[in-house]
């Protein structure tokens, strides 16, 4: 469920928590790895991924109901 945070790479800067308009990180504390409290409220805008200064610390996982259908 989006977003997914890799604790190893996260620098706990809180930028993702700050930018998310849906506030999926609600309840996160400063200088701690963010909590993904409301993943189902993610709009997949990618703002958290793009604002993250650390390589590989955050990514979005596409939920199965949103799978792209192709041939």
| By CB under 8 A, residue 53 contacts other proteins | no
User: How many residues contact other proteins, by CB under 8 A?
Assistant: 32
Non-local (6+) Cβ contacts of 25 within 8 A are: 16, 17, 34, 35, 36, 37, 48
With CB under 8 A as the contact rule, the residue among 8, 40, 53, 55 that binds other proteins is 40
| By CB under 8 A, residue 68 contacts other proteins | yes
Instruction: Scan for tokens 């620098």, then name that residue.
Output: 11
**Tokens encoding 57:** 């610390």
Q: Determine contact, residues 4/60, Cβ cutoff 8 Å.
A: yes
| By CB under 8 A, residue 29 contacts other proteins | no
Q: Which residues contact other proteins (rule: CB under 8 A)?
A: 2, 18-23, 26-27, 37-38, 40-47, 49-50, 59-60, 62-63, 65-71
């Amino acid at each position: 469920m989006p977003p997914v945070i890799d604790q190893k790479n996260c620098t706990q800067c809180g930028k993702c928590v700050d930018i998310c308009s849906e506030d999926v990180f609600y309840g996160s504390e400063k200088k701690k790895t963010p909590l993904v409290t409301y993943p189902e409220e993610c709009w997949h805008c990618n703002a958290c991924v793009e604002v993250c200064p650390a390589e590989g610390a955050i990514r979005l996982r596409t939920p199965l109901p949103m799978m792209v259908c192709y041939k």
